[in-house]
Structure formats: structure tokens, C-alpha cells
Structure 1
Amino acid sequence: MEKGEGIGLGNAKGRNEVQAVIFDWAGTTVDYGCLAPVEAFVEIFRIREIEITIEEAREPMGLSKMDHIRELLNMTRIRNLWIAKFAKEPDEGNLEFLYKDFEALLLKVLKENAKPIPGVIELVRRLRQQGIKIGSTTGYTREMINIVKEEAKIWGYQPDSIVASNDVPAGRPAPWMCFKTAMDLQVYPLSKIVKVGDTISDIKEGISAGMWTVAVLKGGSEIGLSETEINEMDPYELQSRMKTAENRFLNAGADFVIDEIGDLLEIIDRIDYRLTEKKDTFIS
């Protein structure tokens, strides 16, 4: 496994290569285990007497929340349960009602699930010391992320740019949130930006945007465990789960997979080296 406030033009502190990092929010920088949305996804089906699993709820994680619910309804098992319950296939009207319920449930719990993941505050501090700008994208809507950002700010996390899924024509895996972030940060070329996230959708978003991609395991949705569960889990079982998630990320095209968010600093150094090497080869 590979380890790893101001906006101005260029790089203020002389770093030659990586100039910006774009983080996801839930499961990457806040909300260890990405718990808040998962509980809401399960509940909106439970109140309709349809039981979906935690694994099913997590499968489309990273998409805009409307697209996430649409993907859940398209899953064969869930679709069949819906038909058995309501004697018809789910339609766009059902999707709208499910989303409204989801939004109401999620807005109630977001504030309690906005604490930064251990290592994030120190990581951001060190990245900024190196002149690297901090962007962020999210599957949350603007209304949702506004709640999260205010609470995260109290804890000490405040990225330079925040782009929500409804700020652009389409959310992940489309690249538009990453493109808007690059414009907000005034950083280019996009090969000097690193996209970091905890879902397959995050990786696809970064790939679509032509950026370096880094997947995070601990704290993220692919592992899907709280900090307490990870600390108490049998080490061999944990390593097995992490290896499975790592392979999924690598198969999706991730450039790097890291155990936890603090390992990103080493990855930045590796990317710097690769970019410098390419530049030197081109010059020679």
C-alpha cells in the first residue's frame, strides 16, 4: 500500500510542483466513518418498511444525494423490495419524496457530524506552510455544507474554497466541481492539483478532471467503520478490510491509496518528484 487564506496567482511560497489539494468532506476531512448520510439513507427506506443494508447505503457514496438515492432505487434487491411493497416500480415522484425525507433527516444531524477527522488540522497547517492551497468538493448541497463548514470552522478546519454538488451542472463523477475549485483557487495546470477522497466517486471525479488522485482508507466510507470500531477490531480483520478497499480504489484508477489522512504529506513529496522528473526529462 502506497503511503503516503489567501488566494493569489501561482505559488506564494515557492513550491515548484503541487500547488493545491482538493479534499472531500464527509469521510475524508470530517465525520469519521461517514456516518451521518448513511444513517439517513437507511432511515428513509425503513420508514417505508423497506430494509436496506449499510453496505447498500454506502455503495453510491460520493454522488450528489439525489443521484445517490436514484442509484439505490436502481439496485436490483432494493427495486424488487419496492415493487413487492408498493406493487409498482419506483418513479421520479417517489425519488422526490425520498429525497425530501432524506434532506430533512440529514439537516438535523449534520452539525453533530462535522468534527474534523484526527490529523486533518495538522495536515492542512503543514500544507499551507508549503504554499499549497486547500480546496474542497462535496456530494452535499450548498445548504447542507453550509451547516458543516460553520461547525468545522469552530474546530479549526476552513478550506479556501468549497464547491457543493448543486453549485455546478452535475456532481461526481463529472469534473465540474474540481474545475470550479481550480478557478476559485486560481491554480493551473490541473496536473498540479491533487484530489483526495474516501469514495470511488471521488477518484472518478479527480480522474475526470485530469488531477492526481489519492484515496483514504481509515475514516472513510469504503471501510465504513467508526474510530472506536477500528481501534477495537481484530488487526488481521482490519487489514483484510483495508486491503479489499485498497484494491477497489486501485482498480478504479486511484494513483495512490493511503491508510489515513496524515499520510498525504509523503504522497505530495512523491508527486512533486514525479512532476519534477517529467519536467527535467522534457527540458533535456
Structure 2
Amino acid sequence: MIQLAAFDIAGTTVDDHGAVYVALRRSVEEAGATVAADDLQRWMGTDKIEAITALLRLGGVEPEPTVVAERFDRFRALLAEAYSVEPPVALPGIPEAIDRLRAAGVKVALTTGFSDDVVEPLLAALGWEIGPEGQLDAVVTTSDVPAGRPSPYMIHLAMQRTGVADVRRVLAAGDTVVDLEAARNAGAIAVGVLTGQTPREALEAADHDAVLASVAEVPEYVGLGSAAPAVRA
């Protein structure tokens, strides 16, 4: 049995209606950069300042620090506007899956390519809190670590915050290739999910242990059900 499940947020546990993709693309395109779909997909799960820097460069715009800072502010404004029009919601079956895992003694943490100032209002909108009476055991953002995905630091910090010492008993799930890369770099079980905008083919081409339809399937996958399904490779 695993001791910790570390889940991504947007596209994995939370339906943000594609707002992050749109905000990230628009924030870069408004600076004159051309954003290729493959590049956007590749950088989606990473720290958003790193993503903006890379997408500007790839799109033909020099990522000067002032430009990056301006684009990040624009990204946050676009995201806040989108969330005010259509607030994020938990994906189907996710609250129930989290409850099942925690009831079985599995700690549940969220890790994300967002910074604190983006995550806090998002979680508040969902009504999700950290602690024994809340829905989560820990939340780790890019504000907490020296580098975001695909570095393993967020997963390792989630282990530290939840008191889990054995990385072999950690499952990390996300909807992007860099989620899988971060899981592998951390030494954790790497699970891709199809609730985001990354095609199955891209997830299956990456190093992984399983590709599931949703995090809602994780309890069964780890054996909290009538039978644990076979790894979907």
C-alpha cells in the first residue's frame, strides 16, 4: 500500500475549464511570441515563470526579466478573470477518491506549477483546506521549492510535510508529461491521467507506471477496492 498520493491540480484534480492553457498562451502571444501547440503542451506543467520564459524564447521574443515579470502579471490577471467568470470545480469523483485514500491512511498532497498567490484563491474557491478536518494533508507550490517540475523537489517536500520517508511508497499523478518526469525523478510511482489536455499517446510515450482515465481510479489502482487493476502501460 502507498503512504502518500501527490496529485497535480489543474487538469488532474481540478477542472479549471482550460483557463490555465488559455491564460498562458495569451500572456505570451500578447508580447508578440508565436506559441506552438507542442511547446505549450511541453511547458504546461512547469513553473509558470519558467514556462513564460521558455515560450517567449521559443516564440521569437527575448525573455528579458522585465518582460517575463510583465507577462507573468498578465497571466495571473487573465487567470483571475477566467476564474471569476467560470470558477474551477473538482473533477468528477476526485473528492470521493481523496476521502477513500485518507480513510485508508494514505496521505494526500497537491503539488502544482502555480505559485502561492495563484493557488490560495483557487483552493479557497473550492473550499479545500489542509489538516485533519480538511480535505488535504499538504499543498506544495513552486513558491516552496528551488525549481518546479520536472525537478523532484515538490514531491520530496510533500513527503517531508506528511512524514513519509520511503519514496517507493509514494504515488505521483498528473495530466502532463512533466508530471510523469517529476515522479520518475523523485523515485515515485508515476501515473498519468487523461483528464487534462495531454493526449494519451504523449503520456504513454513517457516513462510511466500507469495511465488512468482519472485520479478517481487511483484508489482501485492501489488496491482499495474489490481488486486492483493491472498497470495500464
TM-score, with length taken from structure 1: 0.71
The answer to whether the Cα contact below 8 Å between 1:256 and 1:267 also exists between their aligned partners in 2 is no
Q: Residue 90 and residue 125 in structure 1: after superposition, are their counterparts in 2 closer, same or farther (change >3 A)?
A: closer
Structure 1 residue 24 corresponds to structure 2 residue 12: no
| Rounded Cα–Cα distance in structure 2 between residues aligned with 1:171 and 1:135 | 15
Offset of 1:92 from its aligned partner?
A: 3.2
The answer to whether the Cα contact below 8 Å between 2:28 and 2:56 also exists between their aligned partners in 1 is no
2:155 aligned residue: 178
* Correspondence list, 1:114-193, <5 A: 114-153=88-127, 158-193=135-170
Q: Residue 177 and residue 255 in structure 1: after superposition, are their counterparts in 2 closer, same or farther (change >3 A)?
A: same
| Rounded Cα–Cα distance in structure 1 between residues aligned with 2:139 and 2:42 | 24
Offset of 1:138 from its aligned partner?
A: 0.4
User: Which amino acid in structure 1 is aligned with residue 105 of structure 2?
Assistant: G
TM-score, with length taken from structure 2: 0.85
Offset of 1:51 from its aligned partner?
A: 5.5
2:79 aligned residue: 106
Offset of 1:55 from its aligned partner?
A: 5.4
Structure 1 residue 68 corresponds to structure 2 residue 41: no
Deviations 1:15-56 (A, max 9, x none): xx31110010000000255x1111112322443455646554
The answer to whether the Cα contact below 8 Å between 2:12 and 2:214 also exists between their aligned partners in 1 is no
Offset of 1:95 from its aligned partner?
A: 2.0
Name the % identity. 28
2:231 aligned residue: none
Deviations 1:161-216 (A, max 9, x none): 00101111111111111111001110120110100100111111111111001100
Q: Could you say what secondary structure the match of 1:162 adopts?
A: strand
| Rounded Cα–Cα distance in structure 2 between residues aligned with 1:179 and 1:195 | 11
User: Which amino acid in structure 2 is aligned with residue 258 of structure 1?
Assistant: L
Q: Could you say what secondary structure the match of 2:49 adopts?
A: helix
Structure 1 residue 266 corresponds to structure 2 residue 220: yes
Greater RCO between the two (CA within 8 Å, min separation 6)? 1
Structure 1 vs Structure 2 CA RMSD: 2.5
Q: Residue 151 and residue 158 in structure 1: after superposition, are their counterparts in 2 closer, same or farther (change >3 A)?
A: farther
Deviations 1:51-108 (A, max 9, x none): 6465543331110000111221232xx21xx4xxxxxx44333222212211222233
Greater Rg by CA: 1
Structure 1 residue 210 corresponds to structure 2 residue 187: yes
The answer to whether the Cα contact below 8 Å between 1:38 and 1:54 also exists between their aligned partners in 2 is no
2:20 aligned residue: 37
Q: Residue 184 and residue 154 in structure 1: after superposition, are their counterparts in 2 closer, same or farther (change >3 A)?
A: closer
User: Which runs of no fewer than 5 residues in structure 1 stay unpaired?
Assistant: 1-16, 83-88, 223-244, 274-284
| Rounded Cα–Cα distance in structure 2 between residues aligned with 1:126 and 1:183 | 22
| Rounded Cα–Cα distance in structure 1 between residues aligned with 2:151 and 2:33 | 31
Q: Which structure shows the bigger proportion of residues in strand conformation?
A: 2
Deviations 1:250-284 (A, max 9, x none): 322111001122221222129x98xxxxxxxxxxx
User: Which amino acid in structure 2 is aligned with residue 160 of structure 1?
Assistant: D
| Rounded Cα–Cα distance in structure 1 between residues aligned with 2:172 and 2:223 | 15
User: Which runs of no fewer than 5 residues in structure 2 stay unpaired?
Assistant: 229-233
| Rounded Cα–Cα distance in structure 1 between residues aligned with 2:83 and 2:141 | 15
Q: Could you say what secondary structure the match of 2:5 adopts?
A: strand
User: Which amino acid in structure 1 is aligned with residue 200 of structure 2?
Assistant: E
Offset of 1:140 from its aligned partner?
A: 0.6
| Rounded Cα–Cα distance in structure 1 between residues aligned with 2:28 and 2:164 | 42
| Rounded Cα–Cα distance in structure 2 between residues aligned with 1:203 and 1:153 | 27
